[in-house]
Amino acid sequence: MNRDLIITNAALFIDGRVDDASDSLGIANGAIAAIGSHDDVEAAVAADAEVIDAHGGLVTPGFLDCHAHPVQAGLERLSCDLTDSTDADHAVAMVSEFVAAHPQLDWIVGGGWHMQHFPDGKPSADLLEAAAPGKKIYLVNADHHGAWVSPAGIAAAGVTEASADPADGIIDRDEAGRPTGTFQEGAMEIFQKFLPIPSLDQRVDAIVEAQNYYHSLGVTGWHDAIVGEYAGSGDSTEAYLETVDRGLLNHIVTAALWLRRDITLDTVDEAVAGYIAQRHRFGDRIGVSDPRYRLRATAIKVMMDGVPESKTAALKEPYLDACGHPTDDLGTSHFDQAVLLDILPKLALAGFQLHFHAIGDRAIADSLEVLEAVKAAGGDPALNHHIAHLQSMDLEDIPRFVASGAIANMQALWAANSQQMRELNLPLFGQDRYDIQYPFASLEKARVPLAMGSDWPVSTPDPWQAIHVAVNRLEPGETSLPPLAPDEALSLGTCITAYTRGSSRVFLDDTLGRIEIGAPADIAIANANPFDVSPEDIWLTRNATTIIGGQVVYSGTATSEAD
Ligand SMILES: [Zn+2]
């Protein structure tokens, strides 16, 4: 059993605000035992309780990340990870160092390099050849929309000047047509079948790595937004079960099983049976270690559309052309809606929570149509279905959103006016649609329940960065641009509540995400109180201590990817 704890000298975030009547918490037997003054809480814990001085920092429930890909993120962190590279030379030096440290690897795989460090955002294959002669190297950029490949890697995949660009991607070339080393969008797929698939042990290591990084950021639970065969990444089911069996998992984890796109009206019933069987495998493991630290497959992930940058977000009105005129392109719906209207009510009646990826207004409306069908079929509203991303939403659909009972699952880090968003999205959407992106405050005003998640590794999993953007509608550190749709900004208290208690709804566990007597002691202690700083400095908040089930799992000063 852990020692009891006292957290003192704290700004306690209780019920949506900083509590002015208390500054200490007592933790006994893994749960919150007392809230009050230091003297009050001392009486409720053992005499040898460890005392943690919060130095006036904000104490919140542990953050719950409602949409993330932690296995992928952990694999990236353990691979040749260039996220922290500061310029081109640094990135190249990091590659040679990684290659030297891993001489046994046939392929060097990794990513996180930054386009702005290289001319036109396109580093050359020759740079990799100089860094590690003859090595096969494949490195995805930080946006995950392009890859940088070495000459040996290009040769191994058989790409030459004779290779045609795929329909959905570009092979960057010199004047003679020879590949220069970068592969955009669908051209990255050329390499998939040559790259090594991570082993079970590597995936287990990745989950532990992700968990450790989450600990450092005050995050105590995650909802894995894709478990299943997706884009050649391999299924992580076995790795999750193995991590639990080895006693290595101490986060609350819920998994969304990936809805395959090849399901037809003829195979719906077979598919439903398959998902129930897969959930059963997770369900059998409940309570393998500590019953509270459980891994459950609760949800089905339905990727309705893509992203606007590649014109794959599904819109009601068409994308614009370079002159600002409407094209006939409405984007892509990934599913036949008739299949969804058949299978998703069946899965909901079988007890699955539905997790939609919906970016364009048409994808959001189609998701709502499905939820209306689920309701008509008698689905249980306590399953807390949710729609993630919500970028280009038709405000006229908000009443339907309210009626559906769905949760808005926000990836708030993206809700920023930035140079990149202006360059990429403004021409495609036009000013009017640009100006109503991510309408979080409109959803809040209509009383749609809010939850938050990161989409790590697409974005940093540091909650304070996303909260900063939700409040400021600008990227961390940005002060010169006008904010994106400033009326859609949320208050700091609303954001923290969304990332904790709001997210607990997605986890289907209302004991989580709250500071109250008897609640599990999953706690994050920040190094400061962001309610005391001006809003443009919220992003400077850092997690200092993380407690899960009454046990300190992190203590220090986290380095954020934003540093
Ligand atoms: Zn995602």
The pLDDT assigned to 80 comes to 96
Query: In b/e form, how buried is each residue of 507-539, taking b as 16+ CB within 10 angstroms?
Result: bbbeebbbbeeebbbbbbbbbbbbeeeeeeebb
**How far apart are the CA of 110 and the centre of ligand 1, in A?**
19
CB 125 within 8 A of CB 178: no
Are the C-beta atoms of residues 437 and 469 closer than 8 Å to each other? no
DSSP calls for 287-334: TSS-TTS-EEEEEEEEE----GGGT-S--SSPPB-TTS-B-S-----S
- What angle separates helix 200-216 from helix 237-245, to the nearest 10 degrees? 70
CA of 357 relative to ligand 1 center, distance in Å:
8
Q: DSSP characters for 24-83?
A: EEEEETTEEEEEESHHHHHTTS-TT-EEEE-TT-EEEEPEEEEEE-HHHHHHHHHSEE-T
Calculate how far, in angstroms, residue 9's C-alpha sits from the geometric centre of ligand 1: 38
- Give residue 23 CA to ligand 1 midpoint distance, Å: 37
Pairing of strands 146-149, 179-185: antiparallel
- CB burial of residue 262 (10 Å; 0-12, 13-18, 19+): exposed
Distance 304 CA to ligand 1 centre (A): 12
Domains defined for the chain, CATH in brackets: 5-61+516-555 (2.30.40.10), 107-194 (3.10.310.70), 200-506 (3.20.20.140)
Q: How far is the CA of 459 from the centre of ligand 1 (A)?
A: 10
Residue 219, phi-psi category: left (phi > 0), alpha (psi -120 to 50), beta (remainder) = beta
329-377 pLDDT, tens digit per residue, is: 999 898 999 999 999 999 999 999 999 999 999 999 999 999 999 999 9
Ligand 1 center to 62 CA (angstroms): 21
pTM, 2 dp? 0.91
C-beta separation of 6 from 43 below 8 A? no
**Which residues touch 473 (CB under 8 Å, ≥6 apart)?**
415, 416, 417, 483, 484, 485, 486, 488, 489
What is the Cα–Cα distance from 212 to 546, expressed in whole angstroms? 11
User: How far is the centre of ligand 1, averaged over its atoms, from the C-alpha of 258 (Å)?
Assistant: 11
**In a 3-state reduction of DSSP, which class is residue 136?**
strand
Per residue in 292-321, is it b (16+ CB within 10 Å) or e — as a string? bbbbbbbbbbbbbbbbbbbbbbbbbbebbe
Structural contact between residues 138 and 191, judged by C-beta atoms closer than 8 angstroms: yes
Q: How far is the CA of 188 from the centre of ligand 1 (A)?
A: 18
What is the whole-number distance in angstroms between the Cα of residue 179 and the centre of ligand 1?
30
CA of 68 to the centre of ligand 1 (A): 6
Instruction: Report CA(452)–ligand 1 centroid distance (Å).
Output: 12
> In a structure prediction context, what are the per-residue pLDDT tens digits for the chain, which is 563 residues long?
679 999 999 999 999 999 999 999 999 999 999 999 999 999 999 999 999 999 999 999 999 999 999 998 999 899 999 989 999 999 999 999 999 999 999 999 999 999 889 998 899 999 999 999 999 999 998 877 789 999 999 999 999 999 999 887 889 999 999 999 999 878 998 998 899 989 999 999 999 999 999 999 999 999 999 998 776 667 899 999 999 889 899 899 999 999 998 999 999 999 999 999 999 888 766 544 455 557 899 999 999 998 888 788 999 999 999 899 999 999 989 899 999 999 999 999 999 999 999 999 999 999 999 999 999 999 999 999 999 999 999 999 999 999 999 999 999 999 999 988 898 899 999 999 999 999 999 999 999 999 999 999 888 999 999 999 999 999 999 999 999 999 999 999 999 999 999 999 999 998 999 999 999 999 999 999 999 999 999 999 999 999 999 999 999 854 444 44
Is residue 395 within 8 A of residue 442, CB to CB? The reply is yes
Residue 145: what pLDDT?
78
Left if phi > 0, otherwise alpha if psi is -120 to 50, otherwise beta: which for 181? left
Q: How far is the CA of 411 from the centre of ligand 1 (A)?
A: 9
Instruction: Compute the distance from residue 101 Cα to the ligand 1 centre, in Å.
Output: 31
| Cα 134 to ligand 1 centroid, rounded to whole Å | 35
Distance CA 563, CA 559 (A): 7
Instruction: State in Å: Cα 404 to ligand 1 middle.
Output: 22
Question: How many CB atoms lie under 10 A from the CB of residue 42?
Answer: 18
Distance from C-alpha of 254 to C-alpha of 380, rounded to nearest angstrom: 19
